[in-house]
Amino acid sequence: MAKPTGARCNLRCTYCFYLQKAGLYPDGTFRMSDAVLESYIRQVIDAHRSPLVTVAWQGGEPTLMGLDFFERAMEIQQRYRRGGTAIQNTIQTNGTLLDDSWAGFFRRHQFLVGISIDGPEEVHDAFRVDRAGRPTFGRAMTGLSLLRKHGVEHNILTCIHAANQERPLEVYRFLRDEAGGRHIQFIPVVERRGTAGVSVHSVGPEPFGRFLNTIFDEWVRHDVGSVFVQNFEAALAAWAGIPPGTCVSAPVCGTAPVLEHNGDVYVCDHYADPAHRLGNIMQTPLSNLMASPMRAAFGRSKLTGLPDYCRRCRVRFACNGGCPKDRFLTCPDGEAGLNYLCRGYRIFFTHIDAPMRFMAENLRRNGDPSDVMAWMRAKNARIR
């Protein structure tokens, strides 16, 4: 993923982990130059051997670069695109700076836009404020409305934190019914404090599990096939024996390196620090950085560092220890490396086992996973 503005953002979300990354570049302008932009696009296209090249724009807030920057990016992509190769652009935005010009551009170039909305107004504005401390819900919803107006393909990213962890159904129904979300992703906020503590904004392990369970129960009865929740899609992949599409649930990681505004490449945005810097694309080819021993070792460490307690766990196939950044607790047997969210993962994966087994079996028979809704109704009728 490319971060053309680095950590620079027009918001000051209380739980944002990337704002502090600005300290990596105390004298930086946090604005990608045209030279870095062209070099990145040329190299990322050259490095791909598949007919589809995905370019992911993130931040900070990438729209702070202005529309002209992205127009140039599209021109450069077409200049270097090989015959028979398609380029898919994605962008993650807070939505507050969008207007008709932005939405029209996204539609014209077939961007997939991720927009951050944490739920109804009170919940969203609890932590998602601008640099002056003002609420951002209205501006984010205006941005979402523009995406819908212009027919832009989009998904909604919702953080689970202390302000919404006990309101799962309210959050989900808002995203589904009022925000019109058809593709939704839930990300737990875990801000480490000290050796084993977390910030007051962080989600609790058990509330995290209950949050997902409550939404799953609504989704599996009413919305399978019409609303796509990435967390549930990843779980279904695990039950069906399909490689997961998210690094969090994969056995190894390191598949989502990050490019900073100046061309520096890190193994992951959660590990954007000097110890995990792979190099700079203006000095070393991107393909060499991606093939570096450091990146390979980082990816393997997720598996090799998995505690024995986790290796014996019956839901390991779906969890794989979670994100390494959250592995800062001690296992019951005293071994280090237990994920902070472990209890939540166990609550969730245990709860969804039966319907997941049904959907996975349906997939193996080339059936439709949405048949689970009728199966759930019949099951409930038998119980009554």
Q: What is the pLDDT of residues 59-99, one digit of tens each?
A: 999 999 999 999 999 999 999 999 999 999 999 999 999 99
Span 190-208, pLDDT tens digits: 999 988 899 999 999 999 9
> Which pLDDT belongs to residue 12?
97
> What's the pTM value of the predicted model, to 2 decimals?
0.96
> Which pLDDT belongs to residue 22?
86
Quickly list DSSP for 54-123: EEEE-SS-GGGG-HHHHHHHHHHHHHHPPTT-EEEEEEEE-STT--HHHHHHHHHTT-EEEEE--SSHHH
The Cα–Cα gap between 210 and 343 comes to: 10
**In Å, how far are 229, 308, 348, 382 from 377, measured between CA atoms?**
21, 39, 21, 9
Cβ proximity of 214 and 168 under 8 Å: yes
Superfamily of segment(s) 19-303: Aldolase class I (3.20.20.70)
DSSP 8-state symbol, 174: I
> Which pLDDT belongs to residue 384?
61
Write out residues in the chain with pLDDT < 70, as ranges: 383-384
Task: Please give the torsion angle defined by the CA atoms of residues 341, 346, 352 and 356, in that order, rounded to the nearest 10 degrees.
Answer: 100
> Which pLDDT belongs to residue 383?
64
Cβ proximity of 195 and 152 under 8 Å: no
Count the Cβ atoms, other than its own, within 10 Å of residue 26: 6
Phi and psi at 321, nearest 5°, equal 85, -5
Q: Using alpha carbons only, how large is the chain's radius of gyration in Å?
A: 21
Q: Where are the domain boundaries for CATH 3.20.20.70 in the chain?
A: 19-303
Catalytic annotation, residues: 269
